[in-house]
Structure 1
């Protein structure tokens, strides 16, 4: 028995936890409170209206009798003036001593109210005749001076009919309002179910989506409401997850392929040396093993950097960096290590960033330019004071990059010349992707365009924070 009761309570809690049920309960409760307040206000207004009507009728008759008594003795009053109507139940004329001089037919010897001062008008509520506690009256008592002295005219309407009207209206309200509540509760439950049906379809579709089915999308209702916005937002999230999943799969495949190449070379030479029983000669070490090992080392470093940038788990250590020193050092390195002509235009610009990361980004750009240049590479620094950014342009006179490939070339493991890059120890296809990630980490960007030299221009843009010597002149180096 206790277990069954526990299950019933648990089931009730589960049902109440559903949005549809909660909406119905809240809407019905609010409507019940509103209807109760409306019923109370309506009955109060109706009661006051009935009382006001009774006061108007009794006041008019009291004024009529008082005007007649100013010129006519009480005994000479017209009997029609003292006759009751559907709205008036009692009329009395009381002298200053409290004696009833004339009244409506019946046992009316006891005055309904005490006499008043001449000229006064009173409204009496719940007035009763002594000895008759069953009947209550709403009355107007008006005192007037007559040739025979001051008399008080009392005109009253029984409150019983007023109370009966209130009781009838209250009974109608008590019978009708619960029916309204039931209909509203049912309508709310049905309409909320229809409104939330798209949410259930979205939930069912999301529950069915697995890691291998990220190409599925949730249905978007045509209602153009918040639920439609939710569905569109979830589809946008699924688009991002699908794209990230595809990039991850491609990244793993490309990384495996890139790592395989130097490993195959190293293992092949080592297996050959082991099978022959000879050591590896110095020339093979210098010309094959070391370059492949360095390529493997650099590739692993690049992969780790990109993995950290994807996770956004390692923020860059920011400090003031003299960008012109970074450019100047890289220019000297290129002139010492490369046969192409390297020219540079350097400005004194300070930025806020990671010196090591900026150095690596610039080196990737310049190494890429040197690999593809025919005879010359030019590095140009500039500063946009309006936008607050520093720009480094790296130009070469190589074959250039077609316009339709410029967006693709900054993607990971992208090579436009597979035969040439595959044999180049520096051409893993990650260089420009790393530059892009470093630029984003600094709030900047990397763009690829045509170069005035005839080849490619790679433009690295970095926001400037705290410019010193802003008006310094350029130096050609």
Structure 2
């Protein structure tokens, strides 16, 4: 669930948890310091307690309970318990062993007291000092200690009075009185602090991250607008996280688009260079031949009319070849520079096909182009009449150039639902494999250009027809030919 939250919410929660952990650490350190201060204060206030007892109740120094004044000891115990029920009074010998406990002797479980802490206390060491707890809890206790006054003839110290200031009774009572309140107070303070931190942190982080949030939205919206439908869906699924994830995803997609655009530009530049080289190759051959024919005519080397007419016809053929190539290049460039048909009009497509075929039936003899098939009836079409005629003419001209001169070109037109199919068929050698594959897959014939094995570029007429069909919402597809040649279908959508 945390991964689906916004960056502001996650940052606020993280800072709140850090602040809560910091507060808990400060609380623990504060509690430790408070306990140390309390123990130091209690030990400092009770520093002279053991010495005072030794000085004013000398009978306490008698280690043998049978020899001690029981009444005096019981009076002392009653007085001490009334003044401070939390203390424990022990009589130690010179080696630190417990000789007597002013209270129930059965409660003493640790008979040996560490005299190192006692000697440090008597030497005035820094407080608080903790010593052994004879009750056997294993927890060091603050204490007050005093040495019994030496007696005549004693070689070693007579012993010590050892008073535990924070005995179990005091700890138990203090825990009952304050522990629950301390935890309740700490819990309320922590809850209030966390709530205030969440509110103030969320407001502050929202204000601080607002520009980042806006930038993430802008990059996400730009990514969705510029990608295709499927890619946009993937982008949206990847950018449903926080702002930082959205910016990261948008940056990755932008990088991919820039790299793809760079690769396309490099391919286009390479294709442009290839086109220029191919055009130069295609232009060079007819221009060289044309120049040679013109030089021959200019030098008046041709004196015979028949020879002069033959050279002039060859020059005109080369000139027409240059004209046709330059015109096709110009038309293709103009068609590729736009994505829509500029001049639309409504006309009869079946009549246009009939007129285009009849233009080739001007000479005597068999017609080079024939119209086959049953009349399809009126085919209403809306588009650029000149472009459609140009595409049809290019397809027929290509077929005539590659088919044998004795075989006519067959053209037919038919209706297929809301679409018109114009078929152009010849029995020539067929299309090159690359041209056939591109047309069959619907790929552009000009990006990259198709190279001929003999050099130069090929398929300009087909490229123009393909582009015209695409501008009108149609297509140009190759079909299997029973004659073994080329069979192309120019499919165009009819007007409603």
Q: TM-score, normalised by structure 2?
A: 0.45
Q: Is the helix fraction higher in 1 or 2?
A: 2
Q: Is the strand fraction higher in 1 or 2?
A: 1
